[in-house]
Amino acid sequence: MDDQYTTERDSFGRLLADRQVWRQATTIPAAGELTARWLEGRSQYQPGTFTPGIDAETEAIAGQLAALNRNGLFTKESQPGLREGGNLQRAYVTGYCTAESAGSLLDLSARTELVTVAHAPGEMSRASIPVTLQDAEILTVLGTSESPIEADQLKDWSAEANESLALVLAESWYVEIFDPVWGRNGVLLDAVLDALTLG
């Protein structure tokens, strides 16, 4: 591999050499490992994330997110809890997983106050659960399925990673787990990891 290729970047600043590794990721565990590396700063490419690295808000929870990715949840989005002036956030994490992992995460809702919304493969669902407020205005909601089941979504995932992974994700469960307590940190991610590892 020549030096130019190893330093070449796309229009978002993402390292193309790191993108090449995603061409080989065809399973949830493989995608999870690559996501963990990105969260740890050891990669500068993440499909669907148009920046070479994580944002400042994610830095404090990056290690916990990496652990989730290495234990069966290929994370897509997350945020820590926040209570700062007029800004309020509920801690949440979303991602793709197997039916078995989705079952364990659903069980989390039965035995804790945390809430899991699980979307079966191929399910198109729309709901609006507020998780981010800014001066009482709703900025972010959960409750919508994110499996790449439509042609445009499959095409986007194929371009960003590879077609095999896009098809795996289309057949995976998509879960959204959040802490109903506004601004609370330190509960959600540990509980999700326990649910994934202890079943």
Split at pLDDT 50, 70, 90, the class of 146 is confident
Q: What is the pTM of this model?
A: 0.91
Split at pLDDT 50, 70, 90, the class of 199 is confident
Residue 75 neighbours by CB distance under 10 Å:
21
- Tens digits of residue pLDDT in 3-62: 445 789 999 999 999 999 999 999 999 999 999 999 999 999 999 899 999 999 999 999
Q: Is 164 exposed, middle or buried (0-12, 13-18, 19+ CB in 10 A)?
A: middle
Contact between 183 and 173 (Cβ < 8 Å): no
Q: Take residue 59 and report the two structure tokens written for it.
A: 């830095």
Helix (H) or strand (E) holding 174: strand 173-178
Contact between 132 and 88 (Cβ < 8 Å): yes
Structure confidence at residue 111 (pLDDT): 95
- Tens digits of residue pLDDT in 161-175: 999 999 999 999 999
